Structure 1
Amino acid sequence: MADSGSFKNLYKKMDATSKTRFHASRRLRLHAKLSTYSVVVLSLALILISLMQAYDLGVNIAKKEVVLLQVFASVAVLVYSLLIEKNDFSNRSEKMYSCASQLGELKQKAHPLKDGEFEQGAYDGCWKEYHDLLKLYETHSNNDFRGDYLRSRLEMKEDYAMTRTERGVTIFKVWVAYSISFISYPLMLVLLAAAVYWVWFGIHLD
Structure 2
Amino acid sequence: MTIEVIAVKRELQGKGASRRLRNTGRLPGVVYGGETDAVAIEMDHNALFYQLKAEAFHASILSLVLDGKKEQVLLRDIQMHPFKPLVLHLDFQRVAKGQKIHMKVPLHFINDEIAPGVKLSGGKVTHILNELDVVCLPKDLPEFIEVDLANLAAGHSIHLGEFKLPKGVELSKAGDTQAVVTIHIPRGALETEGEAEAKEEEPKA
TM-score of the pair, normalised by structure 2: 0.25
TM-score of the pair, normalised by structure 1: 0.25
More helix by share: 1
More strand by share: 2
Identify which of structures 1 and 2 has the higher relative contact order when contacts are C-alpha pairs closer than 8 Å and 6+ apart. 1
